[in-house]
Amino acid sequence: MTTTSAHGTDAPAAQVPDYPMPRAARCPFDPPPALHVLQDQAPISRVRLWDGSTPWLVTRYEDTRALLADPRISSESDLPHYPHLSPAQKERRRQSRTFINMDDPEHARLRRMVTAAFSIRQVEALRPAIQKIVDGLIDTMLAGPKPVDLVQAFALPVPSLVICELLGVPYADHDFFQANSKILIKRTSTVEQARVATQQLLDYLDRQIGVKLAHPADDVLSTLAERVRAGELSRREAASMGMLLLTAGHETTANMIALGTLALLQNPDQLGWLRESDDPKAVASAVEELLRYLTIVHSGRRRVALEDIEVGGVTIRAGEGVVLANDVANRDPDAFPAPDQLDLNRNPRHHVAFGFGVHQCLGQPLARVELQVVYSTLYRRIPTLKLAVDLDEIPFKHDGTVYGVYELPVTW
């Protein structure tokens, strides 16, 4: 069997590796070794996805950053060779297309409807409320039985409570939306499971938009409802944007909290430095390094070339799919010396954990403040925090489009 690339070179199917690749068993924090090999060998190579398609994979930092900012590359998920993450994500995109899968000017018009709530000033104003949430959850953990699963008791509730407050969604519904988000980010979910989960979330957000139309409040869903009233957004578009913010707003940060804690527990000297540090700048720098080191959005950024683009002597033809592996780009030794070392002093602000280009994460200021509050509070209030099981008993989200741990049993 052979595959034919768009510019006519035949490669035996066996030579095109499957993507994503497995991580090494004993290195749960490091990208798959095969990705490092590809990064060393060539700037760009073909990989095979779940649906048999063979888009280009870009692994080096400079190329990743340049392509993500290149206007000749598209995020339109309706384009024929768009390299979908999984059957579930393809189905979700089909039912609920948002600005993350649109190009400018449509992308900018819609994104700007929700950017006000995520400005540095607005997010800083939430810091005391986030601190209160974090302290309250730690109080409850300390008063309860141990060991405890840090994911359920802390890592998931922190961002869920925050995003519910910001959007104006009742936190009492968290079991419902967390269960449905989980289905959408699992690579093994079927199309039918994804269809039902997406529909349920869209129906739910549509009802919430209806509530805000009747009873406007000071929250993001109310601003979307106002756009609906003004005729600038359809109910469907508003529900899709609400769903995007709700799901993106808790799964990612939750995984950074739990996986970050595990990484720090495995690096006690770094944890000690962070615990002793009183300087908000040092904490902020630690957050950036954990974002880089862990790069939990580990399934690559997905794009389609709109024109022929040359990368490292190879031409990506117009219409071909491109996957930008930002997890291994964040371990590129040309951009980050000794990249596989967790070094909280590094201050690697130029990492691509939030992506790059016009689609760079909208919620990044909020994620930063949440993580700064968590990392500067949890280990100080529970200085003896430790794993309640061996590292090899921790279930990692190898089957997730977002990486992390399913459970993190801890004690103190």
Partner 1 sequence: MKVIVDQNKCVASGQCVLSAPDVFDQREEDGIVVLLTEKPPDGLADDVRQAAALCPAQAIWVEEEEKKE
What string marks each residue from 303 to 342 as x (binds partner 1 by CB under 8 A) or -?
Answer: ----------------------------------------
Q: Give me the least distance between CB of 392 and partner 1, in Å please.
A: 38
Token couple for 138: 């730690």
Binding residue for partner 1 (CB under 8 A) from 350, 383, 386, 391? 350
For partner 1, give the closer residue by CB, 348 or 409: 348
49-68 residues near partner 1, rule: CB under 8 A: 68
| Closest of 291, 367, 341 to residue 120, by C-alpha | 367
Distance (Å, whole) CA 378 – CA 316: 46
Q: Give me the least distance between CB of 121 and partner 1, in Å please.
A: 7
Distance (Å, whole) CA 215 – CA 381: 40
66-85 residues near partner 1, rule: CB under 8 A: 68-69
Cβ–Cβ < 8 Å for 357, 71: no
How big is the site for partner 1, counted in residues (CB under 8 A)? 28
* Sequence letter at residue 330: N
Cβ–Cβ < 8 Å for 300, 344: no
For partner 1, give the closer residue by CB, 256 or 385: 256
Q: Give me the least distance between CB of 285 and partner 1, in Å please.
A: 12
Q: Give me the least distance between CB of 106 and partner 1, in Å please.
A: 14
Token couple for 168: 């104006």
Q: Give me the least distance between CB of 241 and partner 1, in Å please.
A: 14
375 makes contact with partner 1 (CB under 8 A): no
Distance (Å, whole) CA 408 – CA 259: 9
In order of 98, 148, 164, 342, 360, the CA distances from 126 in angstroms are 26, 28, 13, 29, 22
Binding residue for partner 1 (CB under 8 A) from 358, 382, 388, 394? 358
Binding residue for partner 1 (CB under 8 A) from 357, 376, 405, 408? 357
Q: Give me the least distance between CB of 179 and partner 1, in Å please.
A: 31
Binding residue for partner 1 (CB under 8 A) from 355, 379, 402, 404? 355
361 makes contact with partner 1 (CB under 8 A): yes
346 makes contact with partner 1 (CB under 8 A): no
170-209 residues near partner 1, rule: CB under 8 A: none
Distance (Å, whole) CA 165 – CA 172: 11
**DSSP H helical ranges for 172-304:** 174-184, 191-214, 220-229, 235-265, 268-276, 280-294
91-150 residues near partner 1, rule: CB under 8 A: 108, 111-113, 115-116, 118-123
Query: Using CB under 8 A, which of the segments 44-52, 241-249, 360-368, 371-379 binds partner 1?
Result: 360-368
- The helix (H) or strand (E) run that includes residue 58 is strand 56-58
For partner 1, give the closer residue by CB, 76 or 173: 76
For partner 1, give the closer residue by CB, 72 or 398: 72
Q: Give me the least distance between CB of 71 and partner 1, in Å please.
A: 10
- The helix (H) or strand (E) run that includes residue 148 is strand 148-149
Q: How many CB atoms lie within 10 A of CB 245?
A: 24
Q: Give me the least distance between CB of 228 and partner 1, in Å please.
A: 18
Query: Using CB under 8 A, which of the segments 13-21, 146-154, 331-339, 346-354 binds partner 1?
Result: 346-354
Task: Give phi and psi for 70, each to the nearest 5.
Answer: -85, 120
Distance (Å, whole) CA 62 – CA 366: 26
For partner 1, give the closer residue by CB, 268 or 280: 280
Q: How many CB atoms lie within 10 A of CB 110?
A: 19
- Burial grade of 312 (CB within 10 A; 0-12, 13-18, 19 or more): exposed
* Sequence letter at residue 223: T
Binding residue for partner 1 (CB under 8 A) from 3, 364, 377, 411? 364
Q: Give me the least distance between CB of 120 and partner 1, in Å please.
A: 4
Token couple for 212: 């805000």
Q: How many CB atoms lie within 10 A of CB 7?
A: 11
For partner 1, give the closer residue by CB, 32 or 363: 363
Q: Give me the least distance between CB of 112 and partner 1, in Å please.
A: 5
Cβ–Cβ < 8 Å for 221, 209: yes
Contact residues for partner 1, defined by CB under 8 A: 68-69, 108, 111-113, 115-116, 118-123, 349-350, 354-362, 364-365, 368
